Structure 1
């Protein structure tokens, strides 16, 4: 495809059915993990895993880039990095960004898949920590390899990836997700004085949580530490750990390397959420953005045939609830997009153009129906909230997700052109999914409470 054809294809995609209005999507091709989230030189920067050639993601991945002074109004730049050295020949994989002395430092995993008879777990895969810098967020320096497989502890398999870097006191810290030779998921912790030379300082793990921990992220809120990660190989139950791979956080007591991790809590219990990353913005907000997608063959996305696939979540502010759990709510800037508020009574059905937001404060059991094809139900007696598709095409193969909740004080449903994000009890429980309505509107029916609906 030449330049002219590519631009024409992007223009067609921009106006296509199910193209989102306020979620970041790729201009074409495939998107997955958010990367390098940062605020630098007066702008927010959101990088993402990007395969510009094909919407199925089966091509080498690089990093795409959005930037803007407002996280709800971002501008697409370009693919700022693609595989072009031996150490990232099969993908510029996930990583993070941090500013130091006016320069944005980026760390990512260079993926290498060797040709031969390998199992690609104990042999045959290269996982290199690579460093680049930028002074404008777009143009990158030459790539510098900092760590190779031979630099990791000898208990590691070939699966070590996704560096997240932060500053702690006078030292730089880094976590890497890893799989041990005994098929145990863990996080490796490193320390540096100069962002270039890194020393291994310890391993963090908790028995029984899968064989690989991807996308690690350590952060503190109100003096409390949390380790976010994505365990692979977890058992699946009716009301938890229902996706192919999970994404959640552990409370951390004391120094990360020496800590005993608390209970694991899922970030999002819907069909589509993975690989979140957080960062601290100039307002002191801990902001989380996740991949509103899932890489599996159980269900798919109707946009693939139209030339693109996947999006990122609404940026969410993370806070600590009185019970010690983390809450997520859309950033305040999102509310500026809302207009035309109206009320909808219990038992009423009304049609609304997409996108919209529905809010309510149920006192008991209730239900919300979208086109009669997606049902959101809460049974107070069973203490069970359910997200259930009753139409194969509407959910593109998605079926049911459940969450145990004692009571629902409030609910917030935010629908874009092909997704919904459901925030329950001020965001203590969140469920996100893609949806594929037949047209640009949805028939809403609410039972059990009065709702307020806004256009977005």
Structure 2
């Protein structure tokens, strides 16, 4: 059966390395077979998909083979793609990793290069191995090379996830800089970005959009997410925007690609161990795409659904009779109002786990309001998108929140929502919400500004709708759609 969100058979999607050329987006990705339980990114190679619309994906197979057990590239990890005008070849720089290659008892990382006349046939350059200097930068974090041509400096730049030597474990991360004139010989330069904030900053990327430059990187220490920084210059200074992340913790290691007019985010929605809501997040998951839009006034970036992805669910379903929970429903000219003195909900029957929901919600008076998904009639089980403009917070909650303990109170009442899904809710008079649900994947877009991606394993079918705590909320639009 056709799937909107791509995952290879018997394997999982790791970091994506996007590239655009001549109307086609190339999505290289780390192919993780998960050969042993609770071990990730072992025997990893580069595989490739191609797409023009982010709905129809063409799998091309393995693009870069890994080395043998005695080679530095026993595992092939994240990197970047660049086309050299001089030799007409595509040059791919990627992270090589072999746990048996050690220095002072710690495993090192290095950079290798693959080349080819086309993107589907790339061969590793056997005599190219680029390692850290061990003086300015540690040897143990030397990965995710992002290579680009710098017009101003008239040479190639390589940005890497690295760490400054002789720093503490938690704040030593930096984005290293190396330079080259020929893509072969590289010099070590001062760090490109050194905020002294993180363990390391993975998957760095630099791009220009309009009048602004953007530095993108992912972290797993203070917050598990992909960040961005803004500047009017390619070399900074870099400003932290008010909302500096693209998505939730579930959608990690986001990188981008552009056709010169539109820019898209490529990431992966992590799976959870044991295929249960109560399991820990894993490394690797399922491919995910968003469109990035820019506020030209201040340069801040926003996320919206790709129109072609929304059009995938084109068949509108006739709604079945609604169910009310502890509320009064009042018909209005532009929708229905849901009123309750405590907790109330307006719910519509929902079948299956693959669909799209389009809602327009206008909060009039509330302590809290939000969206219920895959809930039962009594709101005892299911998922709740908790929306609170007063605190500018939106996050997923679920019941039950975990396995019931021995005592009645052991139900995780001290964890009021899934903190790793929390986003900053935009201020607005009404909220236009797109929910895309396919099997255990759920992606929510709000007002073409923010997105919340997550997994939902435990609950299916049931009901969907809106809820309110002490107040009244108007539901202006509610549409359920399925794919043809």
TM-score relative to the length of structure 1: 0.79
- The CA distance in 1 between the partners of 2:398 and 2:62, in whole Å, is 35
- Identify the match of residue 145 of structure 2 among 144, 163, 168: 163
Deviations, residues 316-335 of structure 1 (Å, cap 9, x unaligned): 33433645321112333223
Does residue 400 (structure 1) correspond to residue 400 (structure 2)? The answer is no
- Identify the match of residue 268 of structure 2 among 268, 291, 301: 291
Shift of 1:73: 0.7
- Aligned residue for 1:333, secondary structure, equals helix
Residue in structure 1 matched with residue 62 of structure 2 by the alignment: 79
- Partners of 1:206 and 1:261 within 8 A in 2: no
Does residue 174 (structure 1) correspond to residue 158 (structure 2)? The answer is yes
- Partners of 2:269 and 2:284 within 8 A in 1: no
- Partners of 1:95 and 1:108 within 8 A in 2: yes
Deviations, residues 180-231 of structure 1 (Å, cap 9, x unaligned): 2313111012333333333334313354521111111111111201111112
Residue in structure 1 matched with residue 230 of structure 2 by the alignment: 251
1:191-340 equivalences in 2 (<5 Å): 191-234=179-222, 241=223, 245-256=224-235, 259-263=237-241, 265-281=243-259, 284-293=261-270, 301=275, 310-320=285-295, 322-340=297-315
- The CA distance in 1 between the partners of 2:426 and 2:265, in whole Å, is 26
- The CA distance in 2 between the partners of 1:201 and 1:380, in whole Å, is 45
- The CA distance in 2 between the partners of 1:453 and 1:199, in whole Å, is 56
- Aligned residue for 2:289, secondary structure, equals coil
Gaps of 5+ in 1: 1-14, 235-240
Does residue 44 (structure 1) correspond to residue 21 (structure 2)? The answer is no
**Bigger CA radius of gyration:** 2
- Partners of 2:101 and 2:107 within 8 A in 1: no
Shift of 1:33: 0.9
47-56 or 129-138, which deviates more: 47-56
- Aligned residue for 1:247, secondary structure, equals strand
- The CA distance in 1 between the partners of 2:457 and 2:23, in whole Å, is 36
Residue in structure 2 matched with residue 237 of structure 1 by the alignment: none
- Aligned residue for 1:313, secondary structure, equals strand
Does residue 411 (structure 1) correspond to residue 433 (structure 2)? The answer is yes
- Aligned residue for 1:196, secondary structure, equals coil
1:113-128 equivalences in 2 (<5 Å): 113-114=99-100, 124-128=106-110
Shift of 1:336: 3.2
- The CA distance in 2 between the partners of 1:55 and 1:301, in whole Å, is 16
Shift of 1:177: 0.8
Shift of 1:25: 0.8
- The CA distance in 2 between the partners of 1:96 and 1:331, in whole Å, is 24
Residue in structure 1 matched with residue 452 of structure 2 by the alignment: 431
- Aligned residue for 1:410, secondary structure, equals strand
- Partners of 1:279 and 1:286 within 8 A in 2: yes
- The CA distance in 1 between the partners of 2:232 and 2:124, in whole Å, is 39
Shift of 1:348: 3.2
- Partners of 1:374 and 1:391 within 8 A in 2: no
- The CA distance in 2 between the partners of 1:266 and 1:251, in whole Å, is 9
- The CA distance in 1 between the partners of 2:443 and 2:401, in whole Å, is 19
TM-score relative to the length of structure 2: 0.75
Give the length in aligned residue pairs: 412
Deviations, residues 99-145 of structure 1 (Å, cap 9, x unaligned): 334532211011122367x7xxx753232211112233222223345
Distance 1:442 1:432, change over 3 A: farther
Deviations, residues 392-431 of structure 1 (Å, cap 9, x unaligned): 689xx9961333435244322221222111222312x321
- Identify the match of residue 64 of structure 1 among 31, 47, 57: 47
Residue in structure 2 matched with residue 454 of structure 1 by the alignment: 481
- Partners of 1:357 and 1:414 within 8 A in 2: yes
Does residue 97 (structure 1) correspond to residue 78 (structure 2)? The answer is no
Residue in structure 2 matched with residue 421 of structure 1 by the alignment: 443
- The CA distance in 1 between the partners of 2:182 and 2:141, in whole Å, is 25
- Aligned residue for 2:308, secondary structure, equals helix
- The CA distance in 2 between the partners of 1:403 and 1:45, in whole Å, is 29
- The CA distance in 2 between the partners of 1:269 and 1:300, in whole Å, is 23
- Partners of 1:185 and 1:231 within 8 A in 2: no
- Report the structure, 1 or 2, having the larger helix content: 1
Deviations, residues 133-187 of structure 1 (Å, cap 9, x unaligned): 2233222223345453344652434101101122332543221111223131110
Two-structure CA RMSD over aligned residues (Å): 3.3
Distance 1:130 1:32, change over 3 A: same
